[in-house]
Structure 1
Amino acid sequence: MMVKITSIILTLCYCTVLLISCSISEEITFNEEGSLNYSYVIDASEFMKIMPDSMDKNMLKDTLISFKDLLTQKKDSISQLPSESQKKLQALKPLFIKMHQDKKKGEFYVLIYGNFINSTSLNSALSALNSIDNSKNNSSKNMEFLTHTTYNWNGKEFSKKSIKAESLKSDSVAQNILPLFTGGTFKIRYNFPKEIKKVNNSSAVISQDRKSLSIEYDATEYLATPQKTDLKVELVK
């Protein structure tokens, strides 16, 4: 499991060397009963257009990681872990990580997605993903700055709060990955079951039916000062 995740991170690091910009997009569909569908994409398709054939041999091809399947496969070894560690791993069950590359079509992206019963479940999964294998001090901990956000959705109101991840403050590898996003964008789209009454961000573009909003940020600004993407949305009752 960790070999695959770390390989995905290292593949993205290749883009940094070539100063190829990446873009990020996050889309969440909120359901009235409190559940939600989460999608987070890191798109490095520009990298595929100039990637040398020699590098293509060492890159992962299409890869799908299902944490539910992995936890089932590793249940015996997981049962030997402390209860707190087991609980954290179980929070990953709804998550999938997909890496797709097609050099002929110029496509290269990493997708993190899943369906969650509520926002607490999503927060727990992303927190667990951040802490995967941190004790071994390997590159996987640098996933942290991609997911360090807390969401709150109760069926009527939504809020999002982000803070700068510690890895960007102190970890050299994470800091070196930051230039990868120079010139890229961070786009969010949130879909709601009812019309939006008000939103506290003047940059938000509300759809014609008032059930969706979208905002676009500079990617490096988002990673360096993620609190600028904090958001509060109130729906019509």
Structure 2
Amino acid sequence: MTSCQFSETIYLNEDGSGKMAFSFDASELMQMTGDQFLEGDGEKDVDSTFTFKAVFDEKRDSISQLPKEEQAKLKALEPFSVHMVMSAKDKKLNFDMFSDFKSASELQDMFTALNTVSNLQGKDVGQANDQPNPFSSMIDGGNSELYYSFEKGVFKRTVKVLDKEIQKQIIDSLGQGAMMFANSKYKLNYHFPRKVKSVSNDKALFSADGKTVILEFGLMEYIADPEIMNLEIILED
């Protein structure tokens, strides 16, 4: 078994704007699989930064043939930048996706977003840089909806599973992948402009200053039941 760490970090300002980062550390996977993970790719060592807008500009013709709904999902990713580091020699694989936002409602499910991109002409995230997508076999991404909101001092992260049976099928379809990622974690790090008064999820932890909420579950727990990471956070007046 190996351990990959996924994290979702949000810095929220008083006016609802802020910064978001979605990070993936699969260095332990690299240590286990080594060159096999990058087999078929020319360059073994990569340290690159790109924007989704640049990738989409290159695939403009293909995107225009997608359903309007899929085009809208891709359009929402344009503000995001990606930093990817791969090193077969150092057994390192890190992926960071980050962007500023004007409103919490602009935030979206990163697994779903990455799945949408990876399905574009069968190409992987960052294929403009000829790099593999570490998320391509992780999750279907089409059976849940994730929404964020921040109004009147109340922040919400709400996941809704559309079909419980399909969600079970997604887990079953992972096969050995479920065992491989059994020790992996999904972690939320949410930073607020003032102290937190209450959190709906009893698994949540707080920073010493009371302005940061941390919530962590096993990755397979999250994929099996995304609703376990629903949150309602009320800030002090």
Size of the alignment, in residue pairs?
219
2:209 maps to a residue whose letter is D
* 1:182 alignment partner in structure 2: 182
- Contact 2:200-2:232 within 8 A present in 1 as well: yes
- Please state if 1:131 is matched with 2:116: yes
Percent identity (aligned): 29
Question: What is the CA deviation profile of residues 85-117 of structure 1, one whole-angstrom value per residue up to 9, with x for unaligned ones?
Answer: 544432121123333223444421222322211
- Contact 2:85-2:94 within 8 A present in 1 as well: yes
- Contact 1:133-1:141 within 8 A present in 2 as well: no
* 1:8 alignment partner in structure 2: none
Deviation (angstroms), 1:63: 4.1
CA distance in 2, matches of 1:187, 1:133: 23
- Contact 2:30-2:37 within 8 A present in 1 as well: no
CA distance in 2, matches of 1:43, 1:153: 29
- Please state if 1:89 is matched with 2:71: no
Change (3 A) 1:52 1:76: closer
Structure 2: stretches of 5+ with no match in the other structure: 125-135
* 1:160 alignment partner in structure 2: 157
CA distance in 1, matches of 2:175, 2:122: 15
Q: Secondary structure at the match of 1:91?
A: helix
Q: Secondary structure at the match of 1:51?
A: helix
Which residues in structure 2 correspond to 1:43-192 (within 5 Å)? 43-53=25-35, 55-59=37-41, 61-75=46-60, 86-123=71-108, 129-132=114-117, 140=136, 144-145=140-141, 149-154=146-151, 156-164=153-161, 168-170=167-169, 174=174, 177-192=177-192
- Contact 1:132-1:141 within 8 A present in 2 as well: no
Q: Secondary structure at the match of 1:70?
A: helix
Q: Secondary structure at the match of 2:28?
A: helix
- Contact 1:100-1:108 within 8 A present in 2 as well: yes
* 1:9 alignment partner in structure 2: none
* 1:232 alignment partner in structure 2: 232
CA distance in 2, matches of 1:229, 1:142: 18
Q: TM-score, normalised by structure 1?
A: 0.73
Change (3 A) 1:99 1:163: farther
Q: Secondary structure at the match of 1:227?
A: helix
- Contact 2:197-2:234 within 8 A present in 1 as well: yes
Q: TM-score, normalised by structure 2?
A: 0.73
Deviation (angstroms), 1:126: 6.9
Change (3 A) 1:79 1:145: closer
Structure 1: stretches of 5+ with no match in the other structure: 1-18
- Contact 1:164-1:226 within 8 A present in 2 as well: yes
